[in-house]
Amino acid sequence: MSVFVVDDDKETRRFVAWLLTSRTRHEVFCFESADEALTELHLREPSLLLTDLGLPGLSGEDLARAAGRLPNPPRIVLMSGDRHRLESARPMSDNILRKPFSMAELMLVVETPLEES
């Protein structure tokens, strides 16, 4: 299964990619912007989209909406340190992660849905 990780913060991308590749067998693709990820969404059809909301250019909400309109939409997990923004975007996702999050929190929201797919 493939996972898209979209975050403009390099350390967050590294952390999430490291954790998912070291603890799962999923193929992880990292993107710095929603614009980059949107282009690839149509080519790779990921099983999971893990995106930050506060991105430069196209927002995480915009990316989640676009992903949700795909013929085979991925599961969507939204990330943000802004609790209010995260709660208002919750309806367009399968789950949310409030930053900063721990390894256990990440695995809890990511691993279970992927195994059920």
pLDDT in tens, the chain (117 residues): 899 999 999 999 999 999 999 999 999 999 999 999 999 998 998 999 999 999 999 999 999 999 999 999 999 999 999 999 999 999 999 999 999 999 999 999 887 655 444
The domain defined by 2-111 folds into Rossmann fold (3.40.50)
Residues 6+ positions from 14 with CB-CB distance below 8 Å: none
Asked whether 11 and 55 are in contact (CB, 8 A), the reply is no
Q: What torsion do the CA atoms of 77, 54, 86, 60 make, to the nearest 10 degrees?
A: -40
- pTM value surpassing 0.85: yes
Asked whether 63 and 6 are in contact (CB, 8 A), the reply is yes
